[in-house]
Structure formats: C-alpha cells, structure tokens
Structure 1
C-alpha cells in the first residue's frame, strides 16, 4: 500500500487594492467555495505524469519539457527538483472553469506546492508556503503580487501587502456576486497600458495609488467592524480610482451603474485589473440581462490536505 496525497485549494477574488498592491500598498481578497484539487500518487521510477482538463503530460524528472498549458504546475516541480528522488503522478480537478479566472492559477500553484512539500517530507508554515508559491508565479510570469495565493492559503477574507509581506486574516463573510462582461484583457497588457499613461502623468498617478491605499485601509477597518454598508460605499469610491487609472470601459460601467440602481446593492466595482472580465457586487444576488452572473460564497478555510491509501506504487 502507498499513500496518495491530495491538496485542495480554494479559488479567490480581489475585493480591493487592484493595481495599488503591486506598488506596495494594501489589498483585500477572499477565498471562494470552489476548489482546485491536486492528487499526487508516488511512482517507483522517475517519470512524471500529469492529467488535467487542460492537458495530459509525461516526462522524466531528468528531462522536463515546457508545456504552457501546465506552466505553473511544471514550474513548481522544477523548483523542487533537488528534493525529488522519485517520480509521481498528478491528477488535477477543478470545481470551476479556468476561463472564469477566480484565481485558478493561484489555486493550482498552492495545491501543487503543498503536495510536493508533503511528498518530499517538508513541513511548510503558511508564510513559507506563500513564499514558495510566489516564486513559482514569478518564475512563470515575472510579476504578480501574490494576493490570490495568500487568499487560497489562508482562506476567508484577508488583508495583504507585498513588501514587507504581511497577511492579516479578517473576520466577516460578505455576500458577493460576480458579473462577467463577456471579454477579458490579459493583466500584463492592462498593466502596460496603465504604465504608459503613468509616464505622462507620474505625480498624478502616484497620488491615485496613495488614494487607493487610503480607501483600502478604510475598507479593512469596515470589514473588521462588519460594516458592510460602509464597505460598499468604499467599493464605489475605489471604482472611481479605477476609472482614473483608465481601466474601466463602457460595458463595465453599464454593469456597475445598473447594479447600483438597485437599493439592495451596497457597492459595485471592477474586480481584477480591468478593461474587461468582471464586476463584483456586494449585497443581494441580482441577475443582469445580457451578462453572466457568477454566484459566489466566501470560503472560511484555505488549502486543505488529505491522504489516502492505494495499492502499490504506479509504474505505468
């Protein structure tokens, strides 16, 4: 008999702090009740076999090739090669589509890092887990604040700052919902657009980021007090700063103002980098004609680990 190791990591969504977090300011995010699970089955040889909806992959630990469809998983393996003496199989399953975002890359990263650490008998604190996971993300895409990683690891609602790295778990579980606009602009492209605008108005953009941080810090206090009306008002204020950065557009604004017309909605803003993707609302679940609604529940807990027994080690 041999043990199978399964790590289940929740998806996540940004509540506040977009763009400002990469400048060293505070962000707020939460874990969701939709998980990505990674199950590791030991092998007696040095082969690695990965099975997921995105791709099936097989290679030797001594000759790992690149597959962009599994870039975060393979980078996590590469960074652990010195500790890996035998191969393994990874089976990856998701309770939500990667096309929806929801921190899917972060969730699969923290889950893969966790099962590899367990397989190689490494005990990780949450801070160490976050550091290793962030190294994976930076190895793949050179940038990233790690806010979604922290949310998947810690669970619940968190306040997060990059440098120095600090994670503060927050009490309270907001009622939130996402509304997908129907298209996306990749985050690196959005950041590049913002950077070009900031070059023309550097002092103004610095002030925008500082204002974003002031709003986020006030939002952190509102969450601590479970003042959801106040938090919703701060969401609306933060959206004004997103407009100032130039990452809002007509369709996003249509969703935002349609939501705000309903008295049951306490706040609505872009979630993520902007120029597409989703609007997040606080309060009642409301469907808007022409836009996909994604119902969300905040997960109280972060990544979890379970073990089970299987017959023998795989060698296929």
Structure 2
C-alpha cells in the first residue's frame, strides 16, 4: 500500500501563443499555461480495483485487465503505462475548472495531472521531463501517433515555454504576458483541420513548406520578445503569424471579424487565432475593456505547472 492516504495533483490548462501547424514540421512553437486548472485526486485501495469518477464518465475495472472507454481514453492510457509498477488499485476523482469544449488544452491537462498522480503513487519519477515522456506516449497511443506535445509541455512546466518536437526542446521563458481570450462559439476538431490543410498543401507543397519556415522564423523572434518582456514586438509578431495562418486557409469569416475588432481596441497589441483554426478561440495580447458579442474566457498566464500534494492519515 501507499505511504499516503491521498495524492492531490492539479495541472493548468494551456494555450498556443504561436507555432500552430508549423510545430508539426519541426519548427519552434510557443505555448503558455493558464490559470484555469484541472485537479486529480488519487486514493489508494487495498485490492486491485481501479475506479474513476469524472464529469466525462465513471469507470470501474481491474488493474489486471483494463477495459477501454473512449471518454476516459487519455486517463486509461496513462494507467496502462504505470500498470507494471502498481501493487494495488486506486480511485481517481477528476474535476475541471474549465470546459472541455473550449480550447484550453483539457486533454493535455488531464493527461499531465493523471501522469503525475500515477507516477507519485507508483514511486516513479515525477521530474517534469519524465512526466512529459510518459504523458506524450499516452497521447500518441490514443491519437495514433498524432500530437506535437506542445500543450502538454505548457501544462507540466507552467508559464510560457518554447517547444520543438525534434530534436526535443522545452525552454521556459522569462516573460508572463497579459492576454484576453474569446471563444467563437464553435470549433472544428484539430485532426479535421489538419487534414484540410494537408489537402491544400499537397497542391502547393513548395509554397506551404515556405509558409511553415516563415512561421518558424516568426516564433524565433517571438521567443526573444517574451524573454525580454517586449510586448510591442510580440504583438507585431502575433499579427504577422496570423497572416500566415490566413495563408494556410484556417481563418474563416467569423474569426477574421473577431481579429479585426479586437485589434481596434486601444489596450491590444496583437491578435491571432489560438489553436488550429476554423473555429475555437482568438487570442489578444493585452486587455480588452469593450463589450464584444463573443464569449470572453477569463484566463491569464499561470506561472506554475503541475503541482503535487501528498496527504497522510
């Protein structure tokens, strides 16, 4: 049995600041943790049962023969990875401070938090690099190899991070920008957006390769801006990146209207889509005081990533 009566873990949601699409082609990306958090509470059991209580569903099974459940696929993929190190079962209670329908990296947050809880319970390493390796392997298992891991890196490390897939690079940056986030009211699943972009790129491969290269150059400049707390430069670079997203074909009429309306605000230095596009969220650098016809999501950049707390009887 565990030396602890309960293990409490929280992980922040996350946002892409820059690097969407291009990160999948080896370019740098920037992401940040946000102050909307998800919590996982693990209570040890004396037997081999695994019980999971989540807003997405309830699960009861044996540690010796885990059964699949699509609503909890990321959680169960993590459990499977720690299975060989667990002598007894456990109960997991998962609670989120934000909706999974809004693009705040809920899948990454629950994967990061569950990984930290199971690593602690199994007496395995909870170092950020080891948590990231295990969590990314679980995501790839569920998504059949897809997923850059950018949102995972932000949830685990906190703050703003610069991230590259290969060779892997995760670098925490110094600056903590002020942001405003608005939800368009709809979203297309990221794999579907990627498939549409792939179809367009197949017709113009050289041009799309150049777009990804320019996106990477923009992110390199943005990395320096965040490290130097240079928000004017970051805002200008966000606007440039948005132009490249538009060239990819992932900015629709609603998103374009949101972007240009937000850019008209006096306190805003730059605006772009956050995420793969064709819906979801628009991110503004700075604060917005006007009443706008879109859902405002009240988040700010969070300095802390995954946090683990142990309780004893």
TM-score range, shorter chain: over 0.9
Aligned residue number for residue 13 of structure 2: 11
Cα distance between partner residues in 1 of 2:265 and 2:4: 56
Question: Which secondary structure state, in structure 1, belongs to the residue aligned with residue 251 of structure 2?
Answer: coil
Gaps of 5+ in 2: none
Match 2:195 to one of 189, 192, 195: 192
Does the CA contact (< 8 Å) of 2:4 and 2:310 recur in 1?
no
- Correspondence 1:69 to 2:71: yes
Aligned residue number for residue 105 of structure 2: 103
Match 2:121 to one of 119, 122, 125: 119
Aligned residue number for residue 302 of structure 1: 305
Alpha-carbon shift at residue 105 of structure 1 (Å): 0.6
Measured on the aligned residues, the alpha-carbon RMSD in Å equals 1.1
Aligned residue number for residue 313 of structure 1: none
1:42-81 correspondence runs (5 A):
42-81=44-83
Aligned residue number for residue 176 of structure 2: 173
Does the CA contact (< 8 Å) of 1:285 and 1:295 recur in 2?
no
The TM-score with structure 1 as length reference comes to 0.96
Aligned residue number for residue 314 of structure 1: none
When structure 1 is superposed on structure 2, of 293-302 and 208-217 the one drifting more is: 293-302
Does the CA contact (< 8 Å) of 2:154 and 2:161 recur in 1?
yes
Aligned residue number for residue 283 of structure 1: 286
Does the CA contact (< 8 Å) of 1:287 and 1:293 recur in 2?
no
Does the CA contact (< 8 Å) of 2:12 and 2:34 recur in 1?
yes
Question: Which secondary structure state, in structure 2, belongs to the residue aligned with residue 66 of structure 1?
Answer: coil
Question: Which secondary structure state, in structure 2, belongs to the residue aligned with residue 50 of structure 1?
Answer: strand
Q: Across the two proteins, how many residue pairs are aligned to each other?
A: 310
Alpha-carbon shift at residue 287 of structure 1 (Å): 4.6
When structure 1 is superposed on structure 2, of 77-86 and 133-142 the one drifting more is: 77-86
Alpha-carbon shift at residue 309 of structure 1 (Å): 2.6
Gaps of 5+ in 1: 311-316
The TM-score with structure 2 as length reference comes to 0.97
Alpha-carbon shift at residue 21 of structure 1 (Å): 0.5
Aligned residue number for residue 203 of structure 1: 206
Alpha-carbon shift at residue 63 of structure 1 (Å): 2.1
Does the CA contact (< 8 Å) of 2:125 and 2:131 recur in 1?
no
Alpha-carbon shift at residue 262 of structure 1 (Å): 1.8
Q: Could you report, residue by residue, the CA deviation over 1:232-260 in whole angstroms, capped at 9, with x for unpaired residues?
A: 01000000000010000000000000011
Does the CA contact (< 8 Å) of 2:77 and 2:141 recur in 1?
yes
Question: Which secondary structure state, in structure 1, belongs to the residue aligned with residue 32 of structure 2?
Answer: strand
User: After the TM superposition, which parts of structure 1 deviate over 6 Å for at least 4 consecutive aligned residues?
Assistant: none
Does the CA contact (< 8 Å) of 1:180 and 1:292 recur in 2?
yes
Alpha-carbon shift at residue 2 of structure 1 (Å): 4.6
Aligned residue number for residue 92 of structure 1: 94
Cα distance between partner residues in 2 of 1:115 and 1:287: 41
Aligned residue number for residue 253 of structure 1: 256
